[in-house]
Structure 1
Amino acid sequence: MTIDPAGFPAPPALVEHARRFRAEGGVPAAPRVAATVLLLRPAGAGFEVYLIRRVAAMAFGGMYAFPGGGVDRSDSEAHLDWAGPAPAEWGERLGLAPDAAQAVVCAAAREVFEEAGVLLAGADPASVLGDVSGDEWETARVALEQREVGFAQLLADRRLTLRSDLLLPWSRWITPEFEPRRFDTYFFVALLPEGQRTRDVSREADRTLWLPPAEARARAEAGELNMLPPTLVTLGQVAAAGDLAGVARAAADRDAATPVTPRLDDPEGGEPRFRLR
Structure 2
Amino acid sequence: MDVPEELPVAGTVVLLRTGAHGMEVLLMRRPERGSFGGAWVFPGGKVEDIDRMPDSSEADDARRAGIRETFEEVGLVVSDLVALSRWVPPPEAPRRIRTWFFVARAAGDDVHAAADEVVEHVWITPAAALDQHAAGAWTMFPPTWMTLHDLTTFGDVSAVLAAAGRHRSFATRVDGTAFVWEGLRLETRELPWRLRAE
**Which TM-score band (shorter chain)?**
0.7 to 0.9
Instruction: Encode CA deviations 1:2-33: one digit per residue, 9 max, x unaligned.
Output: xxxxxxxxxxxxxxxxxxxxxxxxxxx95311
Q: Which residue of 2 aligns with 1:117?
A: 75
Q: Give the TM-score, by structure 2 length.
A: 0.81
Alpha-carbon distance in 2 for matches of 1:42, 1:236: 18
Question: For the Cα contact (< 8 Å) 2:40–2:138, is it kept in 1?
Answer: yes
The total of aligned residue pairs comes to 178
Alpha-carbon distance in 1 for matches of 2:179, 2:87: 14
What displacement does 1:275 show?
2.4
1:52 aligns with 2:10: no
Q: Which residue of 2 aligns with 1:157?
A: none
Q: Which residue of 1 aligns with 2:105?
A: 191
Residue of structure 2 aligned with 1:232, choices 145, 159, 167: 145
Identical aligned pairs, as a percentage? 36
Question: For the Cα contact (< 8 Å) 2:14–2:25, is it kept in 1?
Answer: yes
The aligned runs of 1:174-185 (5 Å cut-off) are 174-185=88-99
Question: For the Cα contact (< 8 Å) 2:21–2:125, is it kept in 1?
Answer: no
Q: Which residue of 2 aligns with 1:31?
A: 7
Question: For the Cα contact (< 8 Å) 1:31–1:174, is it kept in 2?
Answer: no
Which structure would you say has the larger Rg?
Answer: 1
What displacement does 1:115 show?
0.9
Change (3 A) 1:245 1:58: same
Question: For the Cα contact (< 8 Å) 1:46–1:212, is it kept in 2?
Answer: yes
Runs of 4+ displaced beyond 4 Å: none
- Match of 1:37, SS state, is strand
1:104 aligns with 2:18: no
Q: Which has the higher helix share?
A: 1
Question: For the Cα contact (< 8 Å) 1:241–1:250, is it kept in 2?
Answer: no
Instruction: Encode CA deviations 1:59-112: one digit per residue, 9 max, x unaligned.
Output: 22111110010001111148xxxxxxxxxxxxxxxxxx6343332221111011
Change (3 A) 1:30 1:181: farther
Tell me: higher relative CO, structure 1 or 2? Use CA pairs within 8 A at least 6 residues apart: 1
What 5-or-longer segments of structure 1 have no aligned partner?
Answer: 1-28, 79-96, 121-162, 267-271
Question: For the Cα contact (< 8 Å) 2:84–2:103, is it kept in 1?
Answer: yes
- Match of 2:32, SS state, is coil
Question: For the Cα contact (< 8 Å) 2:24–2:126, is it kept in 1?
Answer: yes
Q: Which has the higher strand share?
A: 2
Alpha-carbon distance in 2 for matches of 1:188, 1:202: 24
1:205 aligns with 2:118: yes
